[in-house]
Structure 1
Amino acid sequence: MIVVTGATGNIGRVLVRRLLAEGAAVRALTRDPARAGLPAEAETVRADLTGADALEPLLAGAEALFLNLAAGGDHAAAALTEAAVRAGVRRIVLNSSMAVTDTPDDDAHHIARLHAGLERAVRDSGLEWTFVRGGNYATNALAWAPAIRTSGVVRDAHPDARGVPVHEADLADVAATALLDRSGAHLGQAYLVTGPAELTVAQQVAEIGRATGKETRVEQISEEAAAEAMAGPHFPKEAALELVRMFGRTVDAPAFPVSDAVEQITGRPARTFAQWARDHAADFS
């Protein structure tokens, strides 16, 4: 049995289907099973990881756990790690972040600090572990969908900021390989998982235009305005501004190299952003 947290998220939903296709028994955790829309073959279980309910029953009989900080926050993820030890879970595959560098810089960056702390908790648990360090998710581009649908104009502080966007299906495939691994080849590994090519924000917007047949462009705005637009109830403006400024630094040099981890782990090349845009064209139409 493999337990998947964040089962209705972008990565989790694909991961559930991938694991089922491989013949694995899957317990998918979600706040609202009635609206989850997951395959009937999965055991879909109601779970509010931020609540006061005991966590061990969610993990009963499980051999492995896919842990996603986004499913309940860092405190919930740490508590679930402790519960996994008590429940006899053998392995954790953590959806971490490429912001983690295993250097003192991790303590100076909001996103790196959260994920590095959780990585430490998983390491200290004594369980088998694999870290999937993504972060420049292609699905971040879905934030542009309302603007592209209405005007085709995306407003961004750094149109020339560079990244290597990764398809959520590739992250799910890497996670599935680690969860199902019987050879031990992926134990104790922290994989930097990227897409196959570096692209600027403007190039990504143009790819979405090609996939949808819409005329698209990027209009530059201030870092302050970009942070205001990004901030929300669970993402303070200070953290958003830190992220916007980090993107700005990639105009002159990419923050991360292109990784071949997807091909090395799954045996096939990473999906391109153009393919992601085609897969999600309906979201922008």
Structure 2
Amino acid sequence: MIVVTTPTGDIGHQLVEKLLESGASVRVIVRDPSRLSDSIRNRVEIVSGSHADANVVNQAFEGADAVFWLVPADSKADSVTAAYVDFSKPAAQALKACGVKRVVSVSALGRTTPLANQAGYVTASLAMDDLIAATGVNFRALTMPSFMDNTLMQAAVIKAQGTFFSPIDGDLKLPSCATRDIAAVATRLLLDESWTGQEEVAVLGPENISFNDMADIMSDVLGRPIRFQQIPLDAYKARFLQFGYSEAMAHGMTDMADAKNRGLDLGVERSADNTTPTSFRQWCETTLRPAILD
């Protein structure tokens, strides 16, 4: 039995589909089961509730061989530590109590750099990994750069103004990955019962790419000029506050972007094992183009 958290999210729903295609037995933790598609709802065991709830995770982890752990976004949390570490504490206790054998989590790059302790969301993600690892469970933390799919958060602005924004230097080439590839790596690890120990597994996408490179590709795929604009960190933070983020979480987003701009995501050497296939052009053709033009 494989337990999947956030089964309706960008990564989670793709993961559930891949696991079911492989014939795995899947149990999901979901706040609102009605958000599951009919094809999935009828083929999985459902535990309703939040995976921050001790009763929920104890019920879900009972008899489970493996768990996919992903902390959902909480823009109004009191701190990044509360959003990641405190959220995960009931699950860490349940992993031990229920004897779960393997855990695969969604985390972030940066542990090997001096910036790891001042990177907002990333710093909290790494602390969450340490909490899970301390249980002694066999553990693989998927460490990712920024997701290509995050570009969809600015789809309306791209469509209306032909512009997208970040405080990161437009010429800085960084790794970027697609959520479909994250789901594929997680599926492989969750189905493989042979691995033990605790490791980080980087998911770097096919190449390092800058925002200006992305703008050129988006322009070509969308058939209209798209421009990248670097904005100051304080303006970036103000946008999140405008969207209703708490001061702490807006600050966490800003610290993360600042650390990425200073090389946070460049601390892992690229290899065949951590290079994943979906290019930004492929992602734009299959995901961004329909979102903008349809």
Q: TM-score range by the shorter chain?
A: 0.7 to 0.9
| Alignment partner of 1:275 is 2:282 | yes
Identity of aligned pairs, percent? Answer: 24
Map 1:1-285 → 2, pairs under 5 A: 1-37=1-37, 39=40, 40-51=42-53, 53-70=55-72, 73-74=83-84, 75-101=86-112, 105-157=115-167, 158-184=169-195, 187-231=197-241, 232-233=244-245, 236-250=249-263, 254=266, 257-262=269-274, 269-280=276-287, 281-285=289-293
| Mean CA deviation greater in 242-251 or 80-89 | 242-251
2-structure distance, mates of 1:136, 1:221: 17
Structure 1 residue 262 displacement after superposition:
4.3
Structure 1 residue 122 displacement after superposition:
1.6
Structure 1 residue 138 displacement after superposition:
1.1
1-structure distance, mates of 2:115, 2:89: 21
Asked if 2 retains the 8 angstrom alpha-carbon contact of 1:162 and 1:254, the reply is no
Deviations 1:55-76 (Å, cap 9, x if unpaired)?
Answer: 2112222110001123673222
Misfit runs of 4+, over 4 Å: 51-54, 253-257
Asked if 2 retains the 8 angstrom alpha-carbon contact of 1:162 and 1:250, the reply is no
Change (3 A) 1:55 1:220: closer
Change (3 A) 1:278 1:84: same
Structure 2: any 5+ residue segments left out of the alignment?
75-82
Asked if 1 retains the 8 angstrom alpha-carbon contact of 2:122 and 2:256, the reply is no
2-structure distance, mates of 1:106, 1:71: 20
Amino acid paired to 2:262: R
TM-score, scaled to structure 2: 0.84
Asked if 1 retains the 8 angstrom alpha-carbon contact of 2:8 and 2:35, the reply is no
Amino acid paired to 1:152: G
Asked if 1 retains the 8 angstrom alpha-carbon contact of 2:145 and 2:175, the reply is no
What value does the CA root-mean-square deviation take over the aligned residues?
2.6
Structure 1 residue 52 displacement after superposition:
6.6
2-structure distance, mates of 1:277, 1:283: 9
Which one scores higher on RCO, CA 8 angstroms, separation ≥ 6? Answer: 2
Asked if 2 retains the 8 angstrom alpha-carbon contact of 1:174 and 1:262, the reply is no
Change (3 A) 1:254 1:81: closer
Secondary structure of the equivalent of 1:183? coil
TM-score, scaled to structure 1: 0.86
2-structure distance, mates of 1:190, 1:58: 25
Structure 1 residue 34 displacement after superposition:
0.5
Secondary structure of the equivalent of 2:184? helix
| Mean CA deviation greater in 275-284 or 194-203 | 275-284
